[in-house]
A and B are shown apart, each in its own frame.
Chain A
């Protein structure tokens, strides 16, 4: 998976609790992305980063925040998890921001009860 790890790989939490997912890369790529995958929706972009401390919203950013304090880590935070945020979350990286060079991590399955 091109030097991308996600942690945790699985998490079960309760509604209203904060959750942070971590994406770590060893490729020194500039761009990092967070997607969620839901049945019948494919993958949808939550947030992305185009450099350290540079982030922007994707199409489904409500209820999520991100931080990138160093090149290798991109954190996704659910401040107060809701059941609608039960999903599989994928991180992706890209050296140059081109779509044909996005490499995906193994995913994190999050269940919010």
Chain B
């Protein structure tokens, strides 16, 4: 199975909050990331959290990290149609500094219901 797991689909009404969840396996990961992929495009880094943090907020985005359970979540407040995309969580695996490798989750497709 996947080392980094996500639900494949999420539907949310416009204006509500979206919560996308991720579980990872490598407790030594130093950073955990959220990427957004819009249709036909590459991945765009949304935000990231350092492993010694519990929470990070950036405008409408809130990242929560539970290291004990190896659980990461991304909350998008006041979800808009422009938030429709696939969201990937990713972790860095132990590697030499300056040559970090990302391991991605399966991605969650967020659909906004008008």
Q: How large is the interface on B (under 10, 10 to 19, 20 to 34, 35 or more residues)?
A: 20 to 34
How does the 8 Å CB contact mask read for A93-113 relative to B, with 1 for contact and 0 for none?
Answer: 000111110111111000000
Nearest-neighbour CB distance to chain A for B107, whole angstroms, equals 5
Number of A-B contacts (CB under 8 A): 64
Is the CB–CB distance between B42 and A97 below 8 Å? no
Is the CB–CB distance between B41 and A42 below 8 Å? no
Chain B residue contacts of A97, Cβ below 8 A? 97-100
Is the CB–CB distance between A100 and B104 below 8 Å? no
User: Does A52 make an interface contact (CB < 8 A)?
Assistant: no
User: Does A50 make an interface contact (CB < 8 A)?
Assistant: yes
Is the CB–CB distance between B31 and A99 below 8 Å? yes
* Residue of A4, A43, A50, A103 touching B99 (CB-CB under 8 A): A50
User: Does A70 make an interface contact (CB < 8 A)?
Assistant: no
Is the CB–CB distance between A43 and B104 below 8 Å? yes
Is the CB–CB distance between B90 and A99 below 8 Å? yes
Residue ID in chain A nearest B101 by CB atoms: A45
